[in-house]
Amino acid sequence: MPVSVDHSRLIYDALKECGVGLVSALPETWLVHLIRMAEDDPEMILVRLAKEEEGVGLSAGAHLAGTKSAMLMQNHGFLASVNGIVSCAQLYRIPLLMLISHRGEFGERDPWQTEGGGVTEHVLQALRIPFAYLDSPSHVAHRIRKAQTLAYSSNKPVALLLCRDLMWTE
């Protein structure tokens, strides 16, 4: 499978470096290595979800209880989580570190992924969620760290879009 193991490892190590102790996830192709890394890490609490919106509640509970978390989801999962993000995380000022695989951008071959990619950034903007792209290994670690820093200083959700150029090796 041409999902980059090395770049997945970079992302995972950056999350660990940031003190993330709980990861919620719903599998999608680009996330498989990240989820396996969380699964193989005895220090990580991995929560496999039925639907991504649950992850907002998980992260809210973990945060109030003192554990830093990250959410792994596809952009369609982000779209499915919007009410939870607004009426739990934003209403109650909960920091969320959302790592969203940005399917449907240039290079997408799966026809069913092409609508979500076109609206993801617009929905993030409409929700006033700060976001940045992870599209090169050189900036993975410090962008994740900076995103988390802003999430905690603002007590708000932030998003990192995992891009094809980082996640996929042709």
Partner 1 sequence: MLRLEALKSVYEKLENRVVITIMGAVAAELQSIGHRPNFFYLQHAMGLASSMGLGVALTRPELSVVVFDGDGSILMNLGGLTTLARYRPRNLVHVVFDNESLLSVGGFPTATSTGSDIAGMAAAAGVPRTATVRTLDEFVGAFDTALASHELTTIVAKVDAKGPAGFVTDLALLENRFEFQRWLKSATSRPPSPAS
Pick the stretch among 54-62, 106-114, 128-136, 156-164 that binds partner 1 (CB under 8 A): 54-62
- 45 contacts partner 1 (rule: CB under 8 A): yes
Please list the helix, strand and coil fractions of the chain in percent, rounded to the nearest 5, in that order.
50, 20, 25
- 66 contacts partner 1 (rule: CB under 8 A): yes
- 23 contacts partner 1 (rule: CB under 8 A): no
CA 63 vs CA 47, 57, 92, 104: distances in Å? 15, 10, 11, 31
Distance CA 95, CA 155 (A): 4
Distance CA 64, CA 122 (A): 29
Hey, what amino acid is at 82?
A: V
Q: Which of 20, 31, 35, 56 binds partner 1 (CB under 8 A)?
A: 56
Task: Name the residue nearer to partner 1 (CB basis): 6 or 43.
Answer: 43
Pick the stretch among 12-20, 32-40, 43-51, 96-104 that binds partner 1 (CB under 8 A): 43-51
- 60 contacts partner 1 (rule: CB under 8 A): yes
DSSP summary character for residue 155: T
> Half-sphere exposure of residue 38, counting CA atoms within 13 Å on the CB side?
26
- 21 contacts partner 1 (rule: CB under 8 A): yes
> Of residues 80-139, which lie at the interface with partner 1 (CB under 8 A)?
83-84, 87-88, 91-93
Q: Which of 64, 112, 118, 145 binds partner 1 (CB under 8 A)?
A: 64
Q: Which of 5, 44, 47, 150 binds partner 1 (CB under 8 A)?
A: 47
Residues 6+ apart with CB under 8 A from 160: 97, 98, 99, 100, 131, 132, 133, 134, 143, 144, 147
Paired tokens of 153: 């200083």
Pick the stretch among 56-64, 106-114, 121-129, 135-143 that binds partner 1 (CB under 8 A): 56-64
The residues binding partner 1 (CB under 8 A) are 21-22, 45, 47-51, 53-67, 69, 83-84, 87-88, 91-93
